[in-house]
Amino acid sequence: VQPLSDTPQPIDTDPRTIRLKNFLGRLHCPVAPLAGEFVDAADANQLDWRLLPSISVIESSGGKAYRGNNIFGWDQGVHVFSDIRSGIQEVAYKLGRSSLYRNRDLVGKLHLYNPDFTYADRVIAVMRRISPVANVKAASGLSLRHNQFVYATD
């Protein structure tokens, strides 16, 4: 697995990004520096911010084992993305906006994504490990990105 980037990333004050980066870091996931991109892609496609990173943890141990920049096992793992960031954007778009996934709830999306009867439960368990709630309250004084979520206490 190649390093994602040697370029310093700007500090992100979104509490979801901070929480996700810390979670992925504790698991030693190579995709931890992309926490902000996961959150941005989720916001842009009206997805729970914990979904994509959780799928990546199940499918590739968070970027530890994958082929073709496909950390999501998309298309049974055979689809090749130009880079990991492109994969995040494309999978987020498909899960949030394609006619196949768009009108399904979380469990419906996950059952379609992988019909194994344990898959949805495994992904949801990782989502809960990232954060027990989708709506994370910002620490006082931090500015938040514009998104569709209403923040609630953890």
Dihedral, CA of residue 141, residue 147, residue 150 and residue 154, to nearest 10: -60
Cβ neighbour number for residue 94 with a 10 Å cutoff:
18
Cβ distance 33 to 7 under 8 Å?
A: no
Query: What global pTM score does this model have?
Result: 0.82
| Contacts of residue 35, Cβ cutoff 8 Å, sequence gap at least 6 | 12, 17, 18, 20, 21, 24, 53
Task: Determine contact, residues 127/50, Cβ cutoff 8 Å.
Answer: yes
The one-digit pLDDT tens for each residue of the chain (154 residues) are 445 555 555 566 899 999 999 999 999 999 999 999 999 999 999 999 999 999 999 999 999 999 999 999 999 999 999 999 999 999 999 999 999 999 999 999 999 999 999 999 999 999 999 999 998 865 434 444 444 444 444 3
